[in-house]
Structure 1
């Protein structure tokens, strides 16, 4: 079955990796925010309408994968109104447009919707408790999508890095080249996720959804398998750069204060993804190896 996929947020690191997976069987339209502002109702209605028309004309199945998000976690503390517009109002408008044109929607969310107080990987059904403006606005976006009446699925992920844009891996690579040592928080644990792997998983889900075989569960978790701390992640980056990982020193969150609170533990359980018979994500260490191999 041929797919026609609209990816709002197409200029971000995830959006670019989704666009890179276009093929004769998968037509991907991935506009950036300059071309499709999810907070502009008229633009959203026109984009979803054009998607539905294009799919009908080409005999393909339409799907929207929403990768648009306000992800400046610290800046959101002072600009929650803007973050809410992009992370909650935008998905609400997008979901309404999808419902009206009977186009399924996959909405990408975050581990930050949880409090971070857990000691075992979070399941989709676990209670939410966001501790930051970013987390609150993303939780509101989930509610808007799932309550819209659209055929919709929420996919939570976290600790993303990719070829495009700014991310932790690129920052660590830059600091390795400019500093003898550096301190990185060691008491925050999560699941590093390569956007190329996430993009492949989202398109697999999109194919299922478009074929009328979408998972019964409407919230899924998708990260590379396993977990580590930011310090452990940084040391893994150094190792793959051929640098001494001992140059990365552990520190506490208290020693490195930020405007927005971070979850101390935000590992997402893979059980829902596996239960939906979707391809399990490989370990984060293997994904990081592949990222560096692709960058050469």
Structure 2
């Protein structure tokens, strides 16, 4: 009798896992269908980092210096890749708040489906969009003179760090979208993202900043990823000797993992508590 109960429990667990995967993929396909109906929004999101890269590389690059005399475009491209991963936060928030305001999330919660499949589907779709954005920025950077000088495994590790940061930002965006609840409040959060992005080493080395601002930039999670990605690509990086600069790879993993550990349960809990 005990063996029969254990077999049934195993079957139910396996069935729940399979349903979760199927429901999550269904929600991912829903996001693809939404992209097909509104390609302009997707194209605009992909065009924005390209515009930033061209503007800084061509218009401002001639006046920028890099520690050790390296090429500024090679310094800039990894930083823009990091910002590309961070700037998707508001897009995720807008989509979540739109579904929340229209009652779409409440309808999904009333269906016999895995509770968090809606959030997972949104996250997977955004990650796939991020891969496309990475490829486009890398292609434009290559056209502007950027090159990677490391091994293929190191380059893949850099891409992995970028997608890890993106996953952490998506988790935060989903949770914040569920908290703010209205699309018009997304702008307030977006305004806060910009100072964090620009107080990093994405565009300039912390050594070129005032002392207190340079210290803030060195401990910025985006700086850790930017420095680690530059090292893995073999591009010019910062010349700092602080603990944060010397352990950038460790921090590039630690910061996103901490954000995921905190944001994922909070987003799932907030989603389950809707309309209670």
Q: By percentage of residues, which structure has more strand? A: 1
TM exceeds 0.5? no
**How does the TM-score come out when normalised to structure 2?**
0.31
State which structure, 1 or 2, has the greater radius of gyration over its C-alpha atoms: 2
Bigger RCO (CA 8 Å, 6+ sep): 2
Higher helix content, 1 or 2: 2
